[in-house]
A and B are shown apart, each in its own frame.
Chain A
Amino acid sequence: MQSINFQPLYLSLQLALISTILLILIGIPISWWLSQTKQNKTKIIIETIIALPLVIPPTILGFYLLLLFNQHNILGKIWFIIIGTKLAFSFPGLVIASCIYSLPFIIQPIQLAFEKLGKRPIEQALILQQSKIKIFFKIIIPLSKTGIITGAILTFAHTLGEFGVVLMVGGNIPGKTQVISIAIYELVEELNYNSTHILSIITIAISSLILIALFSLNNKKTK
């Protein structure tokens, strides 16, 4: 029996995990700002930019990111000066692209959770003479836990299933940028259905487990 290369699966899981951690760190302050800001032009523009990956084809986003990551353009140039490597067709490039592509999936559930909290917990904590930092970490974050976990699960699952953006930005370099979706695409092209089935079933199982976790969490919340 032909041996199966699990490297793309590890790479996908690694990409999903790093992107999710980074997006939680980036997403919480942005979501907080959005939830506390009254509707104005700036807020509308920022919300539109964040939600854009939901509506534009991933290949378009990938194309422009590829241009941006090019060594002759701003982001690629800065990266090269600081890190000394190319950003396009690299794993860090994939991470940045995934973070941009999955941003709406982390922002929206967390923003909704913050908005649902209302003013009362914050007012109560202020009356109890606590600092804003303490209120944020001891009250707001724990009370918005479900929204944060939902956002994290959705981001992880979404990153795992990425194809268009990662193909454009990372190409198909085995061990470096070849993630599971691209590996499966290549296996189908080679008519290697056996390996395709195995990798696909593993991916479906992982995705199903993620969805079960998500729905269990939502069920617990509504009880």
Chain B
Amino acid sequence: MINLKGFYYLKFKQFTLNITFNFNNKGITFISGPSGTGKTTFLKCIAGLIKPNHGYLIINNKIIQNSNKNIFTPVNKRKIGLIFQDTYLFPHINVIENLKFGYNKDITKDYIEKIIITLKLEKILNRMVTKLSGGEKQRVAIAQVLLTKPNIILLDEPFTSQDFNMRKKIITHLNIINKKFSIPMLCICHRINEIHDFGKKILYINNGKIKHVENIK
């Protein structure tokens, strides 16, 4: 069970978000809500890419950030994976080198193979990333994050630029990963009807607050 307790205030957005919730590694927890309610900012704050003017973040009772005590764990020390809406892979190296870039020292060969097989990357390992399709890029990005052995994976609308079939495939992959690797996932998604079969919980955010929580059976 992951316990996440957070509050942030961003001066430039005049925006306050106050969130406390628990989520576990069984199933994906989805976040939904109208545009401009701070969903992406919320994920970036958790990941450490945005430093709020005021705020705190506690994950599993560990203080990740506390502006009053001047605590701010840097992004690369948080062990939080973030998959962006616009997939970015390093264009000057091929797929395998992209994957190697994020290797965690503790991972085993079996774990690497398991990820490569789960995400069906065997045939594209030596391809340059500029020659990959949108779906392939997305899968490589997911594998890249998995190889860092994160404690949580955050996904910022990973399905937006994909067609229906690709969205289904990606959700299926995420679900398999969630089950196989037991990594909790927090995912922003707009198409609630498509994720109903896979989600565990849906948090509806509006005006910086959780308005409604829907548990999916």
Give the contact-size bracket for chain B.
20 to 34
Q: Are A127 and B101 in contact (CB under 8 A)?
A: no
Contact of B145 among A126, A128, A130 (CB under 8 A): A128
* Known A127-B75, A129-B77, A145-B92; further 20 A-B contacts with Cβ < 8 A: A120-B86, A121-B90, A124-B90, A126-B48, A126-B74, A126-B76, A127-B49, A127-B76, A127-B80, A127-B82, A127-B145, A128-B101, A128-B144, A129-B148, A130-B76, A130-B101, A131-B76, A138-B101, A139-B90, A143-B92
A window 105-140: CB within 8 A of B: 120-121, 123-132, 138-139
Number of A residues contacting the other chain (C-beta, 8 Å)? 17
Contacts of B144 in A (CB 8 A): 128
Q: Give A118's nearest chain B residue, CB to CB.
A: B88
With contacts A121-B88, A121-B90, A143-B91 taken as known, whether A129 is within 8 angstroms of B101 at the C-beta atoms is no
Indicate whether A142 reaches chain B with its CB closer than 8 angstroms. Answer: yes
Contacts of B74 in A (CB 8 A): 126
Query: How distant is the Cα of A153 from the Cα of B173 in the complex, in angstroms?
Result: 48
List 6 A-B pairs, minimum CB-CB distance, nearest first: A128-B102, A126-B75, A126-B76, A124-B88, A129-B76, A127-B82
Contacts of A126 in B (CB 8 A): 48-49, 74-76
A133 to chain B, nearest CB (A): 11
B89 to chain A, nearest CB (A): 8
Q: Give B75's nearest chain A residue, CB to CB.
A: A126
Query: How distant is the Cα of A121 from the Cα of B101 in the complex, in angstroms?
Result: 12
A144 to chain B, nearest CB (A): 10
Residues of A within 8 A of B (CB): 120-121, 123-132, 138-139, 142-143, 145
Contacts of A145 in B (CB 8 A): 92
Q: Are B92 and A127 in contact (CB under 8 A)?
A: no
Interface centre among A125, A126, A127, A128 (most CB of B within 10 A): A127
The DSSP consensus for interface residues of chain A is helix
Q: Are B77 and A127 in contact (CB under 8 A)?
A: no
Q: Are A129 and B79 in contact (CB under 8 A)?
A: yes
Contacts of A139 in B (CB 8 A): 90
Q: Give A125's nearest chain B residue, CB to CB.
A: B101
Contacts of B208 in A (CB 8 A): none
Q: Give A143's nearest chain B residue, CB to CB.
A: B92
Contacts of B88 in A (CB 8 A): 120-121, 124
Contact of A123 among B49, B91, B145, B148 (CB under 8 A): B49
Q: Give A119's nearest chain B residue, CB to CB.
A: B49
Contacts of B49 in A (CB 8 A): 123, 126-127
Contacts of B91 in A (CB 8 A): 143
Contacts of A121 in B (CB 8 A): 88, 90
Indicate whether B158 reaches chain A with its CB closer than 8 angstroms. Answer: no
Q: List 9 A-B contacts (CB under 8 A).
A: A120-B88, A123-B49, A127-B76, A127-B80, A128-B144, A129-B79, A129-B148, A130-B102, A131-B76
Contacts of A125 in B (CB 8 A): 90, 101
B166 to chain A, nearest CB (A): 21
B142 to chain A, nearest CB (A): 12
Query: How distant is the Cα of A131 from the Cα of B77 in the complex, in angstroms?
Result: 9
Contacts of A120 in B (CB 8 A): 84, 86, 88
Q: Are B47 and A127 in contact (CB under 8 A)?
A: yes
Query: How distant is the Cα of A139 from the Cα of B89 in the complex, in angstroms?
Result: 11
Contacts of B81 in A (CB 8 A): 127
Contacts of A142 in B (CB 8 A): 92
B215 to chain A, nearest CB (A): 29
Q: Are B92 and A129 in contact (CB under 8 A)?
A: no
A57 to chain B, nearest CB (A): 41
Q: Give B86's nearest chain A residue, CB to CB.
A: A120
Contacts of B79 in A (CB 8 A): 129
Q: Are A129 and B90 in contact (CB under 8 A)?
A: no
A147 to chain B, nearest CB (A): 13
Query: How distant is the Cα of A31 from the Cα of B80 in the complex, in angstroms?
Result: 31
Query: How distant is the Cα of A139 from the Cα of B76 in the complex, in angstroms?
Result: 15
